Amino acid sequence: MPRRLLSAATALVAALALAACAGLPTTGPVTPGLAAGEDLGEPDFAFRPALPQPGATPEQIVDGFIRAGTGATANWARAQEYLAPSFRGTWNPSAQVTIDSGDRTYVATGEGTVVATLQTEAIVDAQGTYAPSDGAASDLTFSLALQDDGEWRITAAPDGIVLAEDVFPSVFHAYAVQYFDPTWTYLVPDLRWFPTNTARVRIVDALADGAPSPWLAESVVNAFPDAVTLDPASVPLSAGVADVSLSAEALTLDQETLDRMQTQLVTSLATAGVSDVEMSVSDTALSASTVATRSTRVAGPPLVLTEAGFGFLVGDDLTPVDGLSPAIADLSPAAVQVAPDRDVAAVRTGDGLVVRVRDDGQVATVDERAGLVDPSVDGTGTVWSVPTGLPSALWAVTPDDTVIDLAGDLPGATGISAIAVSRDGTRLAAAVTVGGRAEVWIAGIVRADGVPERLGEPAVLGELPSAARGLTWIDDATVAVLVAGEAEPTVLEQPVGGPGETSAAPTGSLTLAGGATASNLRVHLDDGALLVQRGVNWTQTATGVLVLATQQGTPQ
């Protein structure tokens, strides 16, 4: 730096330092700071919406009220300022969030009545569950009255708040509330959206006093008994440790239940910046440890079919899967999915059949219907299969070859192009069409003693530009969909309960599969190349690949 600039910079720093010192109090009482180890709480990055302006028209009051939905502090205290005092105790801002495009119109339809018209993109309900909308216009009606001071204030309004889609992620964040699968083996995330300033309480409340999302409720279990509640309704944090105080009923619970509760709390609150949890009843600590759960992480190398055979590809070396590789290679497969323990695989052959391959070399045809999509297999060895375009013909074929007919379990779907069972076996993702609209759906798998009985009521995750060519789970909470219609191919990364993100896929993409991490999505091209996603780019890692298989986990 030139000497003149250095001198100027030094003078500026000195001046700023003096100005800062001039603002320090030199008299008055001493104000104590935080005690050692005391937590600062949630960072104060909250929006500060404007207050009502004197002389504002009814339309301006309604506009200011809606804009004040960004200020979640103190139960939306700024938004409450736009309400008549008599209405402030009635309006419930937590009832739901309407996420819109941000383009709104306000029309006064009469004395003291304003209608706001907006384009609804999604709704978050009182439990924090996210549901996309079709972007259609919707109207919200507000009643206003002149107050004694001559200012307009709202006397009736719909419960909930409105946030523009580009602002919503700054006010609400996604948190994974963790439940168990029915065997208490896996943790299953239930994505919820909560205001950042109340996240810890909302997460614990979802476990202790709430329930899983409706579409998932019959497919998971909760260690928290119905009688146990959060008491009091606060979750203080100190040095990264959350204090969860429960009702007296928790004192009667056995150790296994307490340990499972502790596991759900620790893993759920980790997404809110909590490093550990201490449960208590009043001043009595509850001793608990986290239990071991099975990971759904898959092996790092891709699982592929080449001219050399079927196995894990590392460089030019192919490592076969014990018991499975020879039989799979002999089938000349078009698609392969391998179960978590690598003891069974679901294969769609070049002839269009769906077969089950066991690690003892046995091969059995499980579905001979025409036009079958790529099959899926779960940890029990059950193979899931459906013909293209016939969602009412979904089958789950158990290891003893019993066909569970799931006809009617995807109501309203008129077509289907891809399915994928989650690695923990609790959920089925499907790429369907409803009339002429392509969508991604999710449904809980309801089981009895591990055997699928039916699907729960499906939920829509997101819309697709056209029918899907491939569908895979990236991790426990995200699916990826390959869309390759007349336009260039794209990949939609779709959280199970949140807005999706679309990016360009390589030209010639045929199929896709999740990797060891969420950022290692792989695609297989029609020229045999294998590419892996690195940020926004795709990097070629292999050639000569005939089939890219998907993995449902790693043996443990």
Each residue's pLDDT tens digit, 222-231? 999 999 999 9
Q: Is the pLDDT of residue 148 over 80?
A: yes
Pairwise CA distance, residues 188 & 448, whole Å = 18
Pairwise CA distance, residues 115 & 430, whole Å = 38
Q: Which residue has the tokens 């949630």?
A: 42
In the chain, what percentage of residues exceed pLDDT 90? 87
Q: Is the pLDDT of residue 517 over 80?
A: no
- For 444-468, what is the mean pLDDT? 97
Closest CA to 243 of 197, 277, 286, 198: 277
For residues 355 and 445, state if they share a domain.
yes
How big is the CA angle at 477 (ends 472 and 478), to the nearest 5 degrees? 40
Question: 3-state class of 13 per DSSP?
Answer: helix
Domain boundary among 251, 285, 319: 285
pLDDT band at 486 (very low <50, low <70, confident <90, very high): confident
pLDDT band at 47 (very low <50, low <70, confident <90, very high): confident
Task: Kindly report the CATH number assigned to the domain that includes residue 128.
Answer: 3.10.450
For residues 86 and 187, state if they share a domain.
no
**pLDDT tens track for 231-256:** 999 999 999 999 999 999 999 999 99
Q: Is the pLDDT of residue 25 over 90?
A: no
pLDDT score for 2: 37
Q: Is residue 487 part of a domain?
A: yes
**pLDDT tens track for 102-116:** 999 999 998 999 999
For residues 389 and 531, state if they share a domain.
yes
pLDDT score for 98: 98
Pairing type for strands 161-164 and 96-100 reads parallel
Q: Look up the domain containing 109 and give its range.
A: 58-170
- For 211-227, what is the mean pLDDT? 98
Closest CA to 93 of 33, 141, 158: 158
Helices (H) and strands (E) in the chain, counts: 7, 39
For residues 90 and 221, state if they share a domain.
no
- Report the mean per-residue pLDDT for the chain: 92
Q: Cβ(122)–Cβ(188) under 8 Å?
A: no
Q: Is residue 31 part of a domain?
A: no
Neighbour-count burial for 422-461, b at 16+ CB within 10 Å, e otherwise: bbbbbbbbbbbbbeeebbbbbbbbbbeeeebebbbebbbb
For residues 392 and 487, state if they share a domain.
yes
pLDDT band at 50 (very low <50, low <70, confident <90, very high): very high
pLDDT score for 373: 98
Pairwise CA distance, residues 358 & 124, whole Å = 44
| One-letter amino acid of 41 | G
For residues 115 and 198, state if they share a domain.
no
Question: 3-state class of 11 per DSSP?
Answer: helix
Pairwise CA distance, residues 382 & 401, whole Å = 9
Query: Considering Cα of 31, then 33, then 36, then 42, what sign does the dihedral take?
Result: positive
| Torsion angle, alpha carbons of 56, 62, 68, 70, to 10 | -150
Q: Is the pLDDT of residue 84 over 70?
A: yes
For residues 139 and 189, state if they share a domain.
no
Q: Is the pLDDT of residue 28 over 60?
A: no
Helix (H) / strand (E) containing 315? none
For residues 385 and 415, state if they share a domain.
yes
pLDDT score for 300: 84
Q: Is the pLDDT of residue 64 over 60?
A: yes
- For 173-194, what is the mean pLDDT? 99
Q: Cβ(220)–Cβ(184) under 8 Å?
A: no
Domains identified in the chain, total number: 3
Q: Is the pLDDT of residue 501 over 80?
A: yes
Domain boundary among 285, 315, 344: 285
Q: Is residue 297 part of a domain?
A: no
Q: Is the pLDDT of residue 332 over 60?
A: yes
- Residue predicted with more confidence, 21 or 375: 375
- For 284-313, what is the mean pLDDT? 96
Q: Is the pLDDT of residue 17 over 60?
A: no
- For 325-342, what is the mean pLDDT? 98
Pairwise CA distance, residues 399 & 65, whole Å = 58
Tokens for 507, please give them: 């030209």
**pLDDT tens track for 339-366:** 999 999 999 999 999 999 999 999 999 9
pLDDT score for 206: 98
Domain boundary among 285, 313, 332: 285
pLDDT band at 46 (very low <50, low <70, confident <90, very high): low
For residues 322 and 392, state if they share a domain.
yes
Question: 3-state class of 31 per DSSP?
Answer: coil
For residues 197 and 142, state if they share a domain.
no
Tokens for 106, please give them: 């306000």
User: What's the distance, Cα to Cα, between the start and end of the chain in Å?
Assistant: 59
Quote the pTM value.
0.89
Q: Cβ(478)–Cβ(190) under 8 Å?
A: no
pLDDT band at 45 (very low <50, low <70, confident <90, very high): low
For residues 362 and 475, state if they share a domain.
yes
**pLDDT tens track for 371-380:** 999 999 999 9
- For 393-404, what is the mean pLDDT? 98
Query: Considering Cα of 163, then 165, then 169, then 172, what sign does the dihedral take?
Result: positive
